[in-house]
Amino acid sequence: MSERTLKIVSFNINGIKARLPRLLEYLTEQQPDIAVLQEIKTMDEGFPAAEFEAIGYHALWHGQKSFNGVAILTRGEPAVETQRGLPMLDGPLPIDNEPDEQSRYLEADAFGVRIGCLYLPNGNPQPGPKFDYKLGWMRRLRAHGQMLLAREEPTILLGDYNVIPHDRDTYSVGAMADDALTQPESRAAYRRMLADGWTDALGVTYPAGGVWTYWDYQAGAWPRDHGFRIDHILCSPQAADRLDGCGVDKEYRGREKASDHAPTFALLRA
C-alpha cells in the first residue's frame, strides 16, 4: 500500500461569494485535504459554511466586511483552531503593539500539521503608511513564526504573502520596480524568515523561477502569461522533511469568472 500524501492548498479566492462556484468546483475536482483561503471578503455571518459541509469540508473562518478575511477548510475531519490574528509584540509602529483590526491570520491543527493561513498586507503605495503597516505586520509574522519553529513540529505558513522574493519571480522586473511587492525592505523581511529555518517550497522546487501564482485582470495579463509569484508555502524543517512535491494548479486561473490567483499546493507525506 502506498504512503498517504496530504495535499495542502493556498487559494486567494478574491471574494468567496463571487467565486463560490469556482471554489466548489476546485474542491470537488482536486479534493485537497486542506485548503486555506485569503480575501474571502465577507463578515463571519456571511461565510457559506453549509456549502462546504455539503461536499465534505469543515471550515474555520476569520471574516471582515468587504475586505481581507481568511479561512481554513479541511476534508473529512475538523481542524482545531490555535490562533486568530497575529500576537502583539514590542516595536516601533502601532501595528507591533496594538490588536490588528484587519482579518489576515488564522491558524489551526489538522492531520497532524500546524497550518497558518495568512494574507499579508499589499503595502502600496510606497513609501507611506500602508508600506510601514506591511513591514510591521511582517515583523509580527516573523516573531510568531519563530515561536512556531521552536515547537519543532510539522508546521506550514502559507498564503498570499504579497512579496515577490526574486527578480526571477516576475514576468517583468521593470514593470514591478516601484511596487511594494519587490522593494528591498519587503524582500529582506521575507529572507529573514527563511533564515530562521523556513523552507520556501516552490522556491526550492523551481529554483530557476518562472512559476507564477497571480495574473492581474488588467492589460491581458493572463493570456500573455504576465504573472508573478506571491503565494508562498513556507515549511518548518519537520514539514520540509516530508515534502513530496508542490506546484500551481494553473489551469483554474483560466476558467470563467476565476480568481486572479491560481491555487498553489504542497504535497506532504502523512
Secondary structure in 3-state letters for 163-226: CCCCHHHECCCCCCCCCHHHCHHHHHHHHHHHHHCCEEHHHHHCCCCCCCCEECCCCCCCCCCC
* Distance (Å, whole) CA 156 – CA 154: 7
CA 199 to chain centre: 14
SS3 7: strand
Closest CA to 117 of 154, 85, 152, 77: 85
Is 33 considered catalytic here? no
From 119, 133, 214, 252, active-site residue: 119
* Residue type for position 94: P
Is 119 considered catalytic here? yes
From 132, 160, 179, 200, active-site residue: 160
Closest CA to 265 of 241, 243, 236, 237: 243
> Is 14 within 8 Å of 235 (Cβ atoms)?
no
Grid cell at residue 124: 502600496
> Is 182 within 8 Å of 176 (Cβ atoms)?
yes
Strand locations in 63-119 (E): 70-75, 80-84, 105-110, 113-119
Please report which residue ranges of the chain form alpha helices under DSSP H: 16-30, 49-53, 94-97, 129-150, 184-196, 201-205, 237-240
Active-site residue numbers?
119, 160
